[in-house]
Amino acid sequence: MARIIDGKALAAETTGKVAHHARDLSEKGIVPGLAVVLVGEDPASQVYVGAKSKRAKECGFHSVQHDLAADTPENELLELIARLNADPAIHGILVQLPLPEQIDPDRVIQAIAPKKDVDGFHYMNVGMVATGSAGRAFVPCTPAGAMLMIERELGSDLSGKNAVVIGRSNIVGKPMASLLLAANATVTIAHSRTGDLPTLARSADILVAAVGRPEMVRGDWIKPGATVIDVGINRIDAPERGEGKTRLVGDVAYAEAERVAGAITPVPGGVGPMTIAMLMANTLASACRAAGMPAPRL
Ligand SMILES: Nc1nc(=O)c2c([nH]1)NC[C@@H]1CN(c3ccc(C(=O)N[C@@H](CCC(=O)O)C(=O)O)cc3)C=[N+]21
C-alpha cells in the first residue's frame, strides 16, 4: 500500500512556518498584507475565498476581502486593482477565478503589479518560472504546493526520474512541467490528444494528474512504486450517501492507485490545502522582498 502524502498536515506545517516568520517581520514593523477579490456570488468561490482570507488572518497578516457584484464592469475592477497596486499595506493581490463574462480575465491579471501577483499568473512571473528563475518569481500556488510534496517525498534533485504531467493548463500543467524540469526530472506533458496515455503514464516515476476528469487515471496506469500527485478536485454525485449528496474525488481512482503507487496524495486533504498554504508563503515572500529582505526558505 502506498504512503499517503498528507497535504493537510504539510499545509499546517507550512502555514505555521509562515506565521512564525510573519511574527518576526511584525516586530520590524512590517505586516504582510493580502487582498482577495471576489466578483459575483458563486458559492464554491465564496467558500475558497473565505478560506484564503481566514488563513491569512491566522498567519497574522493584514487580510482584506473585496466582494464585488456579479455585474461589476471591468473598468471598476481595474480601478480597484490600481488602488491595491498603489497601497503599500498590500503585498499580495488575488482575483478569484473564474470571473463573470463581461470581464476579460487576462486583462485583469496583467493589470496586477507583478511584484504583488501572488497567484503567479502575470506574464512576468510566468516567464521567470519558464526560464528557470522561479526563485525570484511568484510560482503559481498549486504547482508550488505539489512540488513541495514531491520534494518531501523524493528530495529536491529529481535526476534520472521520469515525470509525466497529464494536463497542459497555464495554471497547473505548464508551470508544473517547468518546475519538474528545473529539478532535473525528464518531463513529458500529456493531454487529451496524447496517444496511448496509459502506457505513457506507466513510464512515470512521478505522475501528476491535472485534467479535471473524475478518477480518469486507473490503477493499471501507474508504475509500481511511483509518486502520484492528484491535482483534480471533482464534485460527483454520491447517491450511496443519500438523496442529492455529493463527494469530492480526484483525477486518480484512489482505491486502485494506492495499491500500486509508492506514495499518493488524497482528495480531499492533498494538493488543495497546499494551494492555500503556498498563497500564504507567496504573500510572506512579497512582504520580505518589499522590505529588501530575502524570502525565507520554508
Ligand atoms: N485566482 C485564483 N487563484 C486560485 O488559487 C484559485 C482560483 N483563482 N480559483 C479557484 C481555484 C481552486 N482553488 C482551490 C484551493 C484550495 C482547495 C482546497 O483546499 N480543497 C480542499 C477541499 C475543499 C472542499 O471540501 O471543497 C481539499 O482538497 O482538501 C481547493 C481549490 C484555488 N483556486
Say whether 140-272 and 28-114 share the same fold.
yes
Looking only at the bridges linking them, the beta strands covering 162-166 and 62-68 are unpaired
Contacts of 162 (CB under 8 A, 6+ apart): 185, 186, 188, 203, 204, 205, 206
Rounded percentage of the chain residues whose pLDDT exceeds 90: 98
Single-letter residue type at 264: I
- Condensed to tens digits (0 to 9), the pLDDT of residues 140-163 reads 999 999 999 999 999 999 999 999
- Which among 181, 267, 296 has a CA at the least distance from the CA of 7? 267
Give residue 275 CA to ligand 1 midpoint distance, Å: 7
DSSP single-letter state for residue 220: G
Judged against a pLDDT cut of 90, whether residue 96 lies above it is answered with yes
65 in catalytic set = no
Place of cell 486583462: 107
Establish whether residue 232 lines the binding site of ligand 1, counting it when its CB lies within 6 angstroms of any ligand atom: no
CB 198 within 8 A of CB 221: yes
96 in catalytic set = yes
Instruction: Show me where the domains of the chain are located.
Output: 28-114, 140-272
Which residue from 14, 34, 36, 48 has its CB within 8 A of the most atoms of ligand 1, so it is best to mutate? 48
When the pLDDT of each residue in the chain is averaged and rounded to a whole number, the result is: 97
Rounded percentage of the chain residues whose pLDDT exceeds 70: 100
Give residue 243 CA to ligand 1 midpoint distance, Å: 26
Q: Is 167 annotated as a binding residue?
A: yes
ipTM of the complex: 0.96
- Which among 36, 81, 78, 82 has a CA at the least distance from the CA of 55? 36
- Which among 275, 292, 295 has a CA at the least distance from the CA of 18? 295
Give residue 28 CA to ligand 1 midpoint distance, Å: 32
Establish whether residue 171 lines the binding site of ligand 1, counting it when its CB lies within 6 angstroms of any ligand atom: no
**Looking at residues 272-291, what average pLDDT do you find?**
98
**Looking at residues 199-207, what average pLDDT do you find?**
98
Judged against a pLDDT cut of 90, whether residue 73 lies above it is answered with yes
Residue 288: what pLDDT? 97
Establish whether residue 265 lines the binding site of ligand 1, counting it when its CB lies within 6 angstroms of any ligand atom: no
pTM for the whole structure: 0.97
Residue 207: what pLDDT? 99
Establish whether residue 94 lines the binding site of ligand 1, counting it when its CB lies within 6 angstroms of any ligand atom: yes
CB 197 within 8 A of CB 189: no
- Which among 65, 230, 83, 87 has a CA at the least distance from the CA of 146? 230
57 in catalytic set = no
CATH of 28-114, one of 2.60.40.1170, 3.40.190.290, 3.40.50.10860, 3.90.1280.10: 3.40.50.10860
Give residue 47 CA to ligand 1 midpoint distance, Å: 9
CATH fold group of domain 140-272: Rossmann fold (3.40.50)
Judged against a pLDDT cut of 90, whether residue 136 lies above it is answered with no
Establish whether residue 275 lines the binding site of ligand 1, counting it when its CB lies within 6 angstroms of any ligand atom: yes
Single-letter residue type at 40: G
**Looking at residues 47-61, what average pLDDT do you find?**
96
Q: Quick one: pLDDT band at residue 135, thresholds 50, 70, 90?
A: confident
Instruction: Choose the catalytic residue: 119, 205, 230, 251.
Output: 119
Q: Is 169 annotated as a binding residue?
A: yes
Which residue from 36, 233, 247 has its CB within 8 A of the most atoms of ligand 1, so it is best to mutate? 233
Establish whether residue 96 lines the binding site of ligand 1, counting it when its CB lies within 6 angstroms of any ligand atom: yes
Judged against a pLDDT cut of 90, whether residue 25 lies above it is answered with yes
